């Protein structure tokens, strides 16, 4: 099963700000690509659950908060920001 992933414009801008501030911007771009790839395939398996249908996930230097719509097989990335791990 493959999900459709969309990023809110604000989440895209937040990820771009993390990239611009990073010592290694390529690392942020790679994390965003991994996030997008894995959310298309395994959104329920990534990160930690929050409210029903919502999850938070820290992937290397980038973290995301997202919502899963099981009925429509859609994932919406609501927020992005720096991971505390990076």
Name the token pair of 30.
């790679």
The CA-atom distances, in angstroms, between 64 and each of 9, 29, 59, 75 are 13, 13, 8, 12
User: What's the domain count of the chain?
Assistant: 1
Per the structure, the complete domain to which residue 52 belongs is given by: 4-82
What is the full per-residue pLDDT of the chain (86 aa) written as tens digits? Answer: 899 999 999 999 999 999 999 999 999 999 999 999 999 999 999 999 998 889 999 998 999 999 999 999 999 999 999 987 54
Residue 69 maps to which CATH number? 3.30.2310.20
Beta strands 74-82 and 4-7 are parallel
Neighbouring residues of 54: CB distance < 8 A, sequence distance ≥ 6: 65, 66, 67, 68
pTM exceeds 0.95, yes or no: no
Long-range Cβ contact pairs of 23-29 (< 8 A, separation 24 or more): 27/60, 27/61, 27/86, 28/61, 28/62
């Amino acid at each position: 099963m493959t999900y459709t992933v969309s990023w809110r414009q604000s989440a895209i801008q937040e990820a771009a700000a993390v990239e611009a501030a990073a010592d290694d911007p390529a690392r942020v771009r790679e994390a965003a690509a991994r996030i997008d790839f894995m959310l298309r395939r395994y959104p329920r398996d990534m990160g930690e659950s929050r409210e029903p249908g919502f999850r938070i996930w820290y992937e290397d230097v980038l973290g995301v908060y997202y919502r899963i719509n099981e009925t429509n097989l859609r994932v919406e990335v609501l927020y992005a920001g720096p991971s505390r791990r990076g």
